[in-house]
């Protein structure tokens, strides 16, 4: 049967490398965003007999990949085999070899067989090997980067924390939760339904929260809020956008203030890069003044809602987040079908600056703020090299190898979406992450093309 192997040197010892894979969230961290596949079920460990189910597409009707773990030999090896799925057979060994106390080698060794035997191999064999190379290259990059980030935090004296997260089911929340749990931290998800063992109840609309569940928690990450890009901004939608942020933040801040030293002493809140509104070609730092349009006013009120915690001595930081680049959601997820069809183009004249950041760097910045006590107040969560909309369009088209030559006039989307277009698509926000860089954060994706190639699985030509 064909065999595929991929090996990388890891920046931690053998035991920590194995433990990272054995913790909750590892499979989510290792799933490439550019390939179909979402974790639908896992038994919670790598022990022999435990099972994993992957959904191989975006809908519930997509086919499933069922795998079972058959070998568990920490810290040297675990092995899983396909029980049903796209291959005729798939046997995957994960091997860990020590290289001293602070380094190790991870080898993924896969033996597989395609359907239809020799015919399947002749027709699809080269395509499958290319896909395996893309997938494991991404997995190994992610593994190395995550292990290095957690190792650097430990060198700073960071110990495992208990962290509560709102909005944990969103794009950022899911990625951050998996990153933290694989690093050995304990995550409590705040949810609006009946909570499970690792969850706590809250309902900002009614002002209810399980304050007792926050006792003994080290920090809260607040990500919840009504989407700003899911439809026309009616008066009712604007009210929900504002109140979903201010009411929830105020509830958290007042709860933390009431708990005193028994509760979390750090609150890290999401905010928006639209705090600054249209700045033209001006470079926008955390010291730049707030704008005056709708989204800027929302961001000002959103951040002010955390004042009760701040006044009670809680360290509060606000991550003013720009467009997060991931094919799984956000602006890029919406643009990809259009650009892949060759119908993409700049918005208007394209001279406005479009701030952007990779999902990995958003997660990295939350981790940086959580583990760097001197960081508080506003933090621009945006890549250090902002680009104009025209440059973004050219770069995405280049990575996808598609044309993007037809500009989108302002009138058409404005007729469809109204004020939302002026608030999201055309403001020029040349924001830079001055606080992040000044406090030692190193960006995984400082340049747009490298970021897009990584998240879309498109190697350089």
Give the CATH number for residue 145.
3.30.530.20
Same domain flag for 222 and 320:
yes
Query: Would you state the pLDDT for residue 330?
Result: 84
Domain that holds residue 418: 162-456
Residue 346 lies in a domain: yes
Question: Please, which pLDDT band fits residue 61 given cuts at 50, 70 and 90?
Answer: confident
| Whether the predicted pLDDT of 415 surpasses 80 | no
Residue 461 lies in a domain: no
| Per-residue pLDDT reduced to its tens digit, 305-335 | 999 999 999 999 999 999 999 998 888 988 8
Question: Please, which pLDDT band fits residue 272 given cuts at 50, 70 and 90?
Answer: very high
Give the mean pLDDT of 105-124: 95
Q: Is residue 9 within a helix (H) or strand (E), and if so which, with residue range?
A: strand 3-10
Higher confidence at residue 101 or residue 418? 101
Which of 155, 185, 201 finishes a domain? 155
End-to-end CA distance of the chain: 31
| Per-residue pLDDT reduced to its tens digit, 337-358 | 999 999 899 988 899 999 999 9
Same domain flag for 105 and 243:
no
Question: For residue 235, which phi and psi values (nearest 5 degrees)?
Answer: -60, -40
Query: Would you state the pLDDT for residue 256?
Result: 97
| Whether the predicted pLDDT of 412 surpasses 80 | no
Number of C-beta neighbours around residue 377 at 10 A:
13
Query: Would you state the pLDDT for residue 130?
Result: 94
Of the candidate ranges 73-82, 228-237, 250-259, 367-376, the one whose mean pLDDT is the lowest: 228-237
∠253-259-262 over CA atoms, to 5°? 125
Query: Would you state the pLDDT for residue 417?
Result: 66
For all residues of the chain together, what is the average pLDDT? 94
Share of the chain above pLDDT 70, in %: 98
Number of domains in the chain: 2
| Per-residue pLDDT reduced to its tens digit, 73-85 | 999 999 999 999 9
Same domain flag for 424 and 314:
yes
Query: Would you state the pLDDT for residue 251?
Result: 97
Share of the chain above pLDDT 90, in %: 83
Tokens of 461: 């030509």
Which of 133, 155, 177 finishes a domain? 155
- 3-class DSSP state for residue 369? helix
- 3-class DSSP state for residue 1? coil
Same domain flag for 180 and 39:
no
Question: Please, which pLDDT band fits residue 408 given cuts at 50, 70 and 90?
Answer: confident
């Amino acid at each position: 049967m064909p065999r595929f192997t991929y090996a990388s040197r890891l920046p931690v010892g053998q035991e920590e490398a194995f433990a990272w894979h054995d913790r909750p969230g590892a499979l989510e961290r290792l799933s490439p965003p550019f390939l179909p596949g979402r974790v639908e079920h896992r038994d919670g460990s790598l022990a022999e007999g435990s099972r994993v189910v992957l959904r191989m597409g975006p809908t519930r009707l997509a086919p499933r990949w069922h795998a079972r773990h058959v070998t568990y030999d920490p810290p040297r090896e675990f092995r899983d085999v396909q029980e049903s799925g796209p291959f005729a057979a798939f046997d995957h060994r994960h091997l860990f070899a020590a290289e001293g106390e602070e380094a190790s080698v991870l080898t993924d060794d896969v033996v597989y067989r395609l359907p239809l035997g020799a015919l399947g191999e002749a027709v699809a064999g080269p395509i499958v090997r290319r896909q395996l190379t893309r997938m494991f290259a991404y997995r190994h990059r992610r593994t190395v980067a995550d292990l290095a980030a957690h190792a650097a935090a430990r060198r700073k004296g960071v110990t495992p924390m208990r962290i509560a997260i709102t909005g944990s089911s969103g794009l950022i929340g899911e990625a951050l939760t998996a990153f933290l749990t694989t690093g050995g931290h304990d995550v409590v998800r705040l949810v609006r339904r009946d909570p499970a063992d690792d969850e706590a109840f809250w309902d900002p609309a009614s002002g209810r929260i399980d304050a007792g569940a926050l006792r003994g928690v080290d920090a809260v990450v607040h990500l919840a809020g009504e989407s700003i890009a899911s439809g026309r901004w009616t008066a009712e939608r604007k009210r929900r956008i504002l109140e979903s942020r201010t009411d929830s933040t105020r509830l958290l801040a007042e709860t933390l203030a009431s708990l005193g030293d028994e509760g979390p002493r750090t609150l890290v809140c999401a905010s928006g890069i639209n705090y600054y509104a249209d700045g033209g070609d001006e470079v926008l730092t955390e010291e730049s003044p707030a704008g005056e349009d709708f989204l800027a006013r929302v961001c000002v009120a959103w951040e002010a809602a955390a004042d009760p915690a701040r006044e009670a001595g809680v360290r509060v930081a606000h991550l003013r987040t720009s467009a997060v680049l991931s094919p799984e959601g956000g602006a890029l997820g919406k643009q990809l079908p259009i650009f892949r069809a060759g119908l993409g183009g700049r918005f208007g004249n394209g001279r406005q600056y479009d701030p952007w950041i990779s999902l990995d760097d958003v997660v990295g910045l939350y981790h940086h703020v959580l583990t760097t006590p001197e960081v508080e107040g506003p933090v621009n969560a945006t890549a250090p090299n902002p680009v104009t909309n025209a440059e973004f369009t050219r770069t995405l088209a280049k990575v996808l190898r598609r044309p993007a030559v037809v500009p989108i006039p302002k009138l058409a989307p404005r007729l469809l979406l109204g004020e939302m277009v002026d608030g999201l698509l055309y403001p020029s926000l040349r924001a830079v992450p001055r606080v992040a860089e000044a406090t030692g954060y190193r960006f995984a994706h400082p340049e747009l093309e490298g970021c897009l190639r990584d998240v879309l699985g498109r190697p350089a030509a």
